[in-house]
Structure 1
Amino acid sequence: MGLFDEIKKKLSHEFIDIVEWLDNTNDTIVHRFERYQNEIKNGAQLIVREGQTAVFINEGQLADVFGPGTYTLNTQNLPILATLKGWKYGFNSPFKAEVYFVNTRLFTDEKWGTKNPIMLNDDRFGLVEIRAFGTYSFKIEDAGKFVVDVVGTDANFTNYEVNEHLKSLIVTRFTDTVGEANIPLELYAANTSELSETCQEVMQPEFGRVGILLERFYIENVSMPEELKKEIFEYSRLDKLDMAKLTQFKTAKAMEAAAKNEGGTAGAGMGMGMGFVLAQQMGQNMNFNQGQSAAQATQAVPPPMPTQTLYHYAVNGQQLGPVPMERLRELFAARTINKDSLVWKPGLAQWTALKDVAELQSFLGGNTPPPLPGN
């Protein structure tokens, strides 16, 4: 071989193009391989590393896609591009095509969150607002679809750009999912794992339409206003309580307080009276709801003590009480009150004269002393 042939051979090897991308960033998803006038020499070497996919675009149309490996670019390795270019018998001159390298590694710990509160309609608490945030992981599954549908002609498509699109998609689908879940409000924070899996299943088809695989989706926290939290905690405790025992306890505490404040003001007495009305109603409701359970109880267990009726009474236009019937009898005997004195108990629509209350008419039979001599 002559010297000229060796020089020609050497130059031909030196001028063979190498098409590759060395990623020195952590956030680039798609990088367009820059070439003068996008010309690639026939026989150029294409090097695609692990975690990459090379996509060839011809005049805006998707052509060939290459996974990891080393390729010699010719009509055999570029069947689609050769068809688009009309290369029937091969080619020897440089050709034009855009080459996009797509980063297919897993992008982890991406943040998402609801910018505005989500409105839910709960059967017990009405319209409520919640917020949520968490993380997700994704990777490019269909590089060709992703380049055509999302990247377009962007020469350097970053993680930030795709995340803005994905976050909007996540919040929209998350809102739809929790709105249709129809689960008790207090269970959102306690079932984040199950809710995360459900959301991932709902969102994956949307991600897949642009060539993305939603690898993981996590809900880290579901928050709500502090006032709503307190209501939920109170409701949860109330749901666990034995209401009959609670009513008896509250009634006993109220009677103790009433005995200490027998001579209190009219407003305090009326407030206490309303408290006893509520306590009686709660007790009656619980006795009704627990009727079947009581019928099955062991005969050795006595029924609960009956609730003692308390009375308010009026003296010189001032409301006093409440007091039990025995105390009211003592007041009648001492002439502090008489048959025309106004009294009230839970269940009466209005203040009534003592003589017109059935169970108090026993005060009148022989218990009223005769008039003093000389009167």
Structure 2
Amino acid sequence: MGIFDKIKEKLSNEFIDIIEWLDYSDDTICYRFERYQNEIKNNAKLIVREGQTAVFINEGQLADVFTPGTYTLNTQNLPILSTLKGWKYGFESPFKAEVYFVNTRLFTDEKWGTKNPIILNDDRFGLVEIRAFGTYAFRISDAGKFIIDIVGTDNNFTSFEINEHLKSLIATRFTDTVGESKLPIEMYAANTNELSYTCRDVMQLDFMSVGILLDKFFIENVSMPEDLKKEIFEYSRIDKLDLDKLTKFKTAKAIEAAAINDGGTAGAGMGMGMGFVLAQQMGSVMQPQRGGHNQAFQQPAAVPPPMPQAIQYYYAFNGAQAGPVSFEQLKVLFAGRTVNKDTLVWKQGMSEWKPIREVEELKTFLGGSTPPPLPK
């Protein structure tokens, strides 16, 4: 080998480049490998590590894409770039191209949330407002598409730059999904897992259109105004309550309140009246049955005529029929404001429901009764 061949070999060895990217950050998605005037030497070494993809761009056009591995850059390993530049049998060193390294690892714990309340039309509560927030995870699935559609010529593209776009997309699709689900407003908290999967499937096509895979999507909380929350709780309790039991409970509370407010006098009278009624009911239940063979030898005892049957009243409560209750019980309910003068009542013999103020014997509840005029 002559002296000129040795000098040529030495110079060619010095011209060989190593193209690689060591990522020391937590948020870089795409990094452009910087070279002076974008020149790359012939037979340069390209090292693509796990979790990376290398993309060659020639004059704004997508060329070759390299997955993890080590490559020698020549016409065999750059078929698309060779075609774009018109190299038939090889290329002269150096050549120009832009090299982008794309981070394909999973980007986790990214935050999303609704900036403004979402207005929904619920079947029972009408127009309601909710807010939601959570986390998501994504990875780059198509490095070339991502660079062309999102990165452009940015030399250091981070997750912060794409997050605002993704959060806006998530908020829009989340609003559409919950609006079309027709899920009762009180069921959102109990179905966040199913709703998360549904939203992820709906959003996946939008993410894939720019080369991103939405790997995980979580709804952590769905919140609503406090007054709406209280209304839902009250509705749920009423929906589960037995109206008859609720009426008895209200009656007992009204007796207690009347006894306190009247200093024990009137309240005691009402309490005694209710006590007699309850005692009669308990007596009929607890009275032992007399039977056995001694019954045949007993003389029939004198039986008094039956007591006049007390009038029983039915009344309207929350749009439903409640009762029956006695006159005294209805009076207690009126005193406790469970019923009022406009409450509809009905008893046997009435042709239709009437408000308390129109039933003659119940007008005494209203107070201020006027005696008839004295005889002349």
Asked whether the two chains share a fold, i.e. TM above 0.5, the reply is: yes
Query: 2:86 maps to what in 1?
Result: 86
CA contact (8 A) 2:316 2:343 kept: no
Compute the displacement of 1:306 (Å): 2.8
Q: How far is 1:113 from its partner?
A: 0.7
Q: 1:236 to 1:311 in 2, by over 3 A?
A: closer
Task: Report SS of the residue matched to 1:306.
Answer: strand
**1:318-358 deviation line (CA, Å, top 9, x unaligned):** xxx969xxxxxxxxxxxxxxxxxxx999555585695999x
What is the rounded CA distance, in whole Å, between the counterparts of 2:343 and 2:176 in structure 1? 53
Amino acid at match of 1:107: F
State how many pairs are aligned.
Answer: 305
With over 3 angstroms needed to count, the CA separation of the structure-2 counterparts of 1:280 and 1:34, relative to structure 1, is same
- How far 1:248 sits from its partner (Å)? 3.0
Candidates 320, 324, 347, aligned match of 1:285 = 320
The 3 A distance-change label for structure 1 pair 2 and 244 is same
Does the 8 A contact of 1:311 with 1:345 survive in 2?
Answer: no
Alignment-mate amino acid for residue 210 of structure 1: V
Do the aligned partners of residues 220 and 349 (structure 1) sit closer, same or farther apart at CA in structure 2, a change above 3 Å counting?
Answer: closer
Q: Measured at CA, do residues 220 and 345 of structure 1 come closer, stay the same or move farther in structure 2, by a change above 3 Å? A: closer
CA pair 49-111 structure 1, distance change in 2 beyond 3 A: same
Kept in 2: contact 1:28–1:159 (CA 8 A): yes
Kindly indicate whether residue 36 of structure 2 is the aligned counterpart of residue 36 of structure 1.
Answer: yes
- Give structure 2 stretches of 5+ with no counterpart: 264-313, 336-340, 346-353, 364-371
Whole-Å separation in 2 of the counterparts to 1:346 and 1:311: 15
Q: 1:351 to 1:127 in 2, by over 3 A?
A: closer
Q: 1:306 aligns with which of 300, 321, 324?
A: 324
Within a 5 Å distance, the mapping from 1:153-302 to structure 2 comes to: 153-254=153-254, 257=257, 280-282=315-317, 285-286=320-321
Contact 1:262 1:322 in 2 (8 A): no
CA 260–136 in structure 1, closer or farther in 2 if over 3 Å, else same: closer
Contact 2:109 2:135 in 1 (8 A): yes
The aligned runs of 1:47-126 (5 Å cut-off) are: 47-126=47-126
C-alpha deviation, 1:310, in angstroms: 6.0
Inter-CA distance 356–50: structure 2 relative to 1 (3 Å threshold)? closer
User: Match for 1:190: what amino acid?
Assistant: A
CA distance in 2, matches of 1:80, 1:252: 88
**CA shift digits 1:147-167 (9 cap, x unpaired):** 001101111111100111111
1:311 CA drift (Å):
11
- Shift in Å, 1:68: 0.5
Q: Does the 8 A contact of 2:251 with 2:329 survive in 1?
A: no
1:258–1:322 Cα contact (<8 Å) kept: no
Distance in 2 (alpha carbons) for counterparts of 1:67 and 1:11? 30
SS of the aligned residue for 2:180 comes to helix
| Cα distance, 1:125 vs structure 2 | 1.1
Read off the aligned partner of 1:306 and give its amino acid letter: P
Q: Which residue of structure 1 lines up, in the alignment, with residue 137 of structure 2?
A: 137
Q: Deviations over 1:255-295 (max 9, x none)?
A: 565577689xxxxxxxxxxxxxxx920288256xxxxxxxx
Amino acid aligned to 2:160: Y
1:53, 1:143 within 8 Å by CA — same for their partners in 2?
yes
Question: Which letter does structure 1 place at the counterpart of 2:214?
Answer: L
- 2:45 is aligned to 45
Deviation of residue 5 (structure 1)? Answer: 3.8
5 Å-filtered alignment, 1:364-375, equals none
- Percent sequence identity over matched residues? 71
Which runs of 4 or more aligned residues in structure 1 lie more than 3 Å from their structure 2 counterparts after TM superposition?
A: 1-8, 251-263, 309-313, 343-357
Contact 2:316 2:344 (8 Å CA) reproduced: no
Question: How big is each residue's C-alpha offset from its partner over 1:226-257, in whole Å with a ceiling of 9 and x where there is no partner?
Answer: 11111111111112111222123324443565
CA distance in 1, matches of 2:342, 2:47: 96
Q: Aligned partners of 1:346, 1:105: CA distance in 2, in Å?
A: 70
Cα gap change, 1:240 to 1:346, in 2 (>3 Å): closer
- d(CA) in 1 for partners of 2:36, 2:128: 59
CA contact (8 A) 1:244 1:283 kept: no
Q: Distance in 2 between matches of 1:286 and 1:344?
A: 15
- Give the unaligned 5+ runs of structure 1: 264-278, 288-304, 314-320, 324-342, 358-367
TM-score, structure 1 length as denominator? 0.73
C-alpha RMSD of matched pairs (Å): 3.3
Kept in 2, the 8 Å contact 1:312–1:344? The answer is no
